[in-house]
Structure 1
């Protein structure tokens, strides 16, 4: 399956101008923006009707970039990234260089390396991490496919990516592991 050049170019244009997009990920459809843009992150919280005390995760396309956004990359993180066979979000301590309202109160951030082609190409071309949060109003069920996303979400973003809208394969949310400063591992979602 191939996406159209115009589709990714429009998504890039919207993100670079501080807008938010609705897009397919390697898990569920997500709402996203430039993870370093505090105002764009605020727009997502408002659309989702979600408290900014609940952090959102960040997608990257290359694990080598993680060190730019956290103080120290624990060795165990490299091992987890290498052995995982399904999407894995790792919550790292001491986040930096990201929008402050994106981080949790304890300054942690969840980062997932995406293997989804459209999203990987998008991140590579904007040269910034991409916010990813499920495409639903806070407290409502996570939609399994594009057709399950509410009109409120679809109409509330600045651009809806066309790629994979007709995909009916049910995707699962990622596993979530939290790493402590000393390399402690806490499994939050399998």
Structure 2
């Protein structure tokens, strides 16, 4: 993994651009979650309603600790264990967490919670670290179409409307499982 590519990709995010990058199972589209114009660009590309909300991707617990601090200790430990590097080939898990006041409404959509995943994908970890926090992560495809599994497929969907961080997908065959932390309900299996 080339440091200058990661640095350039993080700079794209800081400049308000949309970035396509490989995740654990599919290619994702990302932006600075605090930049509403960048977020609106992703919604436009995906033809996705704002009400649905999106996932925030982080490189480690320290980037999202403020979202789990108020949860019971046993639940915090369960969430942190699910993101553990001890299980690198396990399917990624995204948790619906109580939305902190610092999370913009456009990220949550019409939900009282925010979807968060601490990634085990080395390229995504490096990107979030270089950016200095969590980033938006939503599948790289227009609504109703199959999520891209290659950069070529992303280019067919979006051409030059996004910037690219080249790399390999992780080892998962499926997008992340989504679990509501408060109820334990599996939202996406």
Distance 2:128 2:103 in 1: 15
Q: After superposition, where does 1:40-119 map in structure 2 within 5 Å?
A: 40-69=38-67, 72-75=70-73, 76-83=75-82, 85-119=90-124
Relative distance call for 1:168 and 1:121 in structure 2 (3 A) is closer
1:30-60 alpha-carbon deviations (Å, 9 max, x no partner) = 0001122222111111111111111110101
Q: After superposition, where does 1:1-190 map in structure 2 within 5 Å?
A: 3-69=1-67, 72-75=70-73, 76-83=75-82, 85-149=90-154, 151-157=156-162, 159-164=163-168, 171-180=173-182, 184-190=183-189
Q: Which has the higher contact order (CA 8 A, sep 6+)?
A: 2
Q: Is the 8 A contact 1:95 1:103 kept in 2?
A: no
Local SS of the residue matching 2:51: coil
Gaps of 5+ in 1: none
Local SS of the residue matching 1:172: coil
Aligned length: 182
Distance 1:169 1:91 in 2: 23
1:126-147 alpha-carbon deviations (Å, 9 max, x no partner) = 1121100000001112223333
**Larger proportion of helix:** 2
TM-score by length of 1: 0.85
Q: Is the 8 A contact 1:27 1:171 kept in 2?
A: yes
Q: Is the 8 A contact 2:46 2:142 kept in 1?
A: yes
RMSD: 2.2
